[in-house]
Amino acid sequence: MANQNREEVVCVTGANGFIGTWLVKTLLEKQTPRYKINATIFPNSDPSHLFTLHPEAQSRITIFPVNILGSTAVSSAIKNCSGVFHVASPCTLEDPTDPQKELLEPAVQGTLNVLEASKRAGVKRVVLTSSISAMVPNPNWPEKKAIDETSWTDVEYCKLRGKWYPVSKTEAEKLAWEFREKNDGIDVVAVHPGTCLGELIQKEMNASSAVLQRLMVGSKDTQECYWLGAVHVKDVARAHVLVYETPTAAGRYLCVNGIYQFSSFAKTVSELYPDFPIHSFPDETQPGLTPCKDAARRLIDLGLVFTPIQDAIKEAAESLMAKGFLQRTPSKN
């Protein structure tokens, strides 16, 4: 955990992605301790925006082009680090052609490589970016009980329906807990974001922003039973740092600004952007989902204050329009 009296070196995997970028920004803005960051990026991807995040970014960020499946390369990035934030994991809204190669292997083997390298380096805590997708869908969850950190995605249910991203996140996280159980001296804490919204600092559109973008151009996709809520990406980044720096933090931390129906999210977006062709969903788009305002109670108890979801939606939408991913004047088609 963080030592408040010295400079500290930490590793962030997938540092130039959406969550990774905001996490790097949050770490750079901390004064006590003063973080230096070993930032892993997928080879040939662009990390240039990371150096715009802080006046000292150039001197405090070291870039490591790393395929997470390469254990030697992963080890080189984690060596001499006191902590690791393992964010890197493939995420897409499209159905994979080869689920094993595109999603499962990078998520599971990549997590194992990070944990093994962390153990060799003497890292005391690894903060794992898991996902709401490792908690739902769970068809056997008690009716009228709000989802909490004890819920696990039903992997077989997802496999039968070809939903491979939840499978990848669930199997990767379960591997992390098994590793923690078998290896003394290394700690693991997991953060479970929902749909992350906010300003796009990187050039590419991430999967969570694509959910909003598709909704605003008329998509009727209800996200099935995977939807639990949204969260500002800066709150996700703060949650990672918070659980890293809090010695008593342990286990899984749900990170959403409340659990609610996708229909209510769509209604909020429509109220903010009435000129856009946003589909009106039935109130019960997901039967059995129990809303909960303070679902992320464990993070709230640690001191995290969540950003109003309206602000996250507006920042995300304006960013999508500014970068040309969404027309500022809605199409009439």
Residues 6+ apart with CB under 8 A from 279: 215, 218, 219, 220, 266
pLDDT score for 332? 58
State the residue range of the domain holding 190: 7-197+230-256+293-305
pLDDT: is 289 or 258 the higher one? Answer: 258
The answer as to whether 248 is a domain residue is yes
Question: Average of pLDDT values for 57-74?
Answer: 95
The answer as to whether 205 is a domain residue is no
The answer as to whether 118 is a domain residue is yes
pLDDT score for 94? 72
The answer as to whether 24 is a domain residue is yes
Whether residue 174 is predicted with pLDDT greater than 60 in this model: the reply is yes
Whose CA is closest to 10, among 111, 110, 95, 114? 114
Summarize pLDDT for 131-162 with one digit per residue, the tens.
999 999 999 999 889 999 999 999 999 999 98
Q: Look at the chain and report how many structural domains it folds into.
A: 1
Q: Which residues are catalytic?
A: 169
The answer as to whether 216 is a domain residue is no
Output the domain CATH number for residue 172: 3.40.50.720
Summarize pLDDT for 301-325 with one digit per residue, the tens.
999 999 999 999 999 999 999 999 9
Whether residue 329 is predicted with pLDDT greater than 70 in this model: the reply is yes
The answer as to whether 164 is a domain residue is yes
97 pLDDT tier (thresholds 50, 70, 90): confident
Question: Average of pLDDT values for 275-294?
Answer: 86
Residues 6+ apart with CB under 8 A from 321: 327, 328
The answer as to whether 300 is a domain residue is yes
CB 252 within 8 A of CB 148: no
Summarize pLDDT for 196-239 with one digit per residue, the tens.
999 999 989 998 999 999 999 999 988 766 688 999 999 999 99
Summarize pLDDT for 25-59 with one digit per residue, the tens.
999 999 889 999 999 999 999 999 999 999 999 99
Strand 251-255 vs strand 187-193: parallel, antiparallel, or unpaired?
Answer: parallel
